[in-house]
Chains A and B, each alone.
Chain A
Amino acid sequence: MEDKYLLSDVKRYSGTDTSACMRCGKCSGRCPAYNDMDIKPHQFVTLIERGDIEKLMQSKSIWTCLSCMACVERCPRNVAPAQVIEAVRDAVVRQQYANKIKAEDIPAKIDETIPQQLLVSAFRKYNK
């Protein structure tokens, strides 16, 4: 797929208008996963505006975002950084052989206490 289509697809799937961002940084200030992100939520918004999709697709942050929606809640400009991060993650896992977790990895990770909800959630996020 041509890069230009990939970028416009990701922007469209994200369902948020990143051009409205005024760079206040409140999203990253509120993010509970901030310390575990290489590219921060406010940087996702800026980089997608600049069209740097490749860099975002290689970031660690797409796997550590908790989808907790705290950034969305705090944005004074109605931008949804979490939706940008999810759209980029989807762009990665929708590729062939690009799932972050696979069914065969699961038995080694689980014990008697793990709720089904956790497994289904992680699969929905990390596997297509």
Chain B
Amino acid sequence: MRFSYYPGCTLKTKAKELNNYALKCVEALGLDVKEIEEWQCCGAVYPQARDEIATKLSAVRTLNYAKGEDGKLLTLCSACHNVLKRVNEDMISDANVRLKANNYLQLEEEYAGETEVIHYLEMLRDYVGWDNLKAKVVNPLKGVKIGAYYGCLLLRPSKVMAFDNPENPTIIEDFIKAIGATPVVYPYRNECCGAYVSLDEPAISKKKSNAILDSASANGADMVITACPLCMYNLKHMGDSVVDVKYFTEILAEALGVKED
């Protein structure tokens, strides 16, 4: 079974390490992952207005490409995952969006949401399994206390994302346990970092990011991990660095012993 991989714009530029470590790890785990050809930007935010069609088309192109492979679209950036999954839901449940998007794209066969959108963490949980992942770990991160930072995009809206319990998620804590480290649960782990507002109102993102980092630190975390380049930017550059912030793929690569290859 092959996963069609959608990296997205930031993973090829400012978040190269998130992408590179992820690819080293899928190799180490023996998974068949192939990057989509000629992919386009997903649009970065899901357009919520019901009459938005054009802004969803690039996501539909990506989804349709994956349908033509094995129907499994692998995402890594939280924002891309959120956009692709929500647009896919529109293609399933919103007849107006489906009709207009298909009319516009003129595909050989109508696209109606057949592709399954799978985040890298869901792939680890559902296709690798925590026990199998644990068995592949060569450098368990013993004694390292890690706070999972979920943010918004992976979890909400939960009716569509169906990623984990939106109020009390466990998937990243399970991941942390599987690589031998100790998860630290803290109240702000599913709070927003300030998102795109940091471009125009950095004070808001600064406040939000510091609240998250302070909460993680107060509960004993040595570092927090994220899957999102925008969260990474806000936490690192808007926050006051009370704890380190890393991409989860970096510590996965460390645990699997492929970080320095």
Interfacial chain A residues near B230, Cβ < 8 Å:
115, 117-118, 121
B200 & A100 in contact (Cβ 8 Å cutoff):
yes
B14 (CB) vs chain A CBs: closest residue: A115
A33 & B204 in contact (Cβ 8 Å cutoff):
yes
Interface string of B11-53 (1 = CB under 8 A from A): 0011100000000000000000000000001011101111100
Interfacial chain A residues near B208, Cβ < 8 Å:
32, 66
The answer to the question of B124 belonging to the interface, with a C-beta cut-off of 8 Å to chain A, is no
The answer to the question of B196 belonging to the interface, with a C-beta cut-off of 8 Å to chain A, is yes
- From B129-137, B187-195, B213-221, give the one contacting chain A: B187-195
The 7 closest A-B pairs by CB, nearest first: A69-B156, A68-B192, A121-B196, A120-B44, A68-B152, A15-B50, A13-B49
A70 to B193 CA separation, bound complex (whole angstroms) = 12
Give the contacting residue for B50; candidates A13, A63, A64, A126; CB below 8 A. A13
A32 to B234 CA separation, bound complex (whole angstroms) = 15
Measured CB to CB, the closest approach of chain B to A77, in angstroms, equals 14
With A113-B14, A117-B44, A117-B79 known as contacts, the answer to whether A13 contacts B51 (CB < 8 A) is yes
Interfacial chain A residues near B200, Cβ < 8 Å:
63, 100-101, 109, 122, 126
With A70-B156, A73-B157, A117-B9 known as contacts, the answer to whether A125 contacts B48 (CB < 8 A) is no
A9 (CB) vs chain B CBs: closest residue: B51
Interfacial chain A residues near B232, Cβ < 8 Å:
115
B14 & A36 in contact (Cβ 8 Å cutoff):
no
Measured CB to CB, the closest approach of chain A to B64, in angstroms, equals 21
A64 & B49 in contact (Cβ 8 Å cutoff):
no
Interface string of A53-76 (1 = CB under 8 A from B): 000000000011011111011000
A69 & B237 in contact (Cβ 8 Å cutoff):
no
With A67-B48, A114-B233 known, 14 other A-B pairs at CB within 8 A are A12-B50, A14-B48, A36-B201, A67-B152, A68-B156, A73-B166, A73-B167, A101-B200, A113-B236, A115-B14, A115-B229, A116-B9, A116-B13, A119-B199
B195 & A67 in contact (Cβ 8 Å cutoff):
yes
A117 & B157 in contact (Cβ 8 Å cutoff):
no
Contact sample, A vs B, 14 pairs, CB 8 Å cutoff = A15-B50, A64-B201, A67-B45, A69-B156, A73-B157, A83-B49, A113-B237, A115-B229, A116-B10, A117-B9, A120-B44, A121-B230, A125-B45, A125-B196
A66 & B195 in contact (Cβ 8 Å cutoff):
yes
A12 to B197 CA separation, bound complex (whole angstroms) = 26
A70 & B192 in contact (Cβ 8 Å cutoff):
yes
Q: How many of chain A's residues touch chain B, expressed as a range?
A: 35 or more
The answer to the question of A87 belonging to the interface, with a C-beta cut-off of 8 Å to chain B, is yes
B51 (CB) vs chain A CBs: closest residue: A13
Measured CB to CB, the closest approach of chain A to B160, in angstroms, equals 10
A64 & B197 in contact (Cβ 8 Å cutoff):
yes
The answer to the question of A124 belonging to the interface, with a C-beta cut-off of 8 Å to chain B, is yes
Residues of chain B in range 197-245 having any CB-CB distance to chain A below 8 Å: 197-201, 204, 208, 229-230, 232-233, 236-237
The answer to the question of B139 belonging to the interface, with a C-beta cut-off of 8 Å to chain A, is no
Interfacial chain A residues near B199, Cβ < 8 Å:
101, 109, 114, 118-119, 122
Measured CB to CB, the closest approach of chain A to B14, in angstroms, equals 4
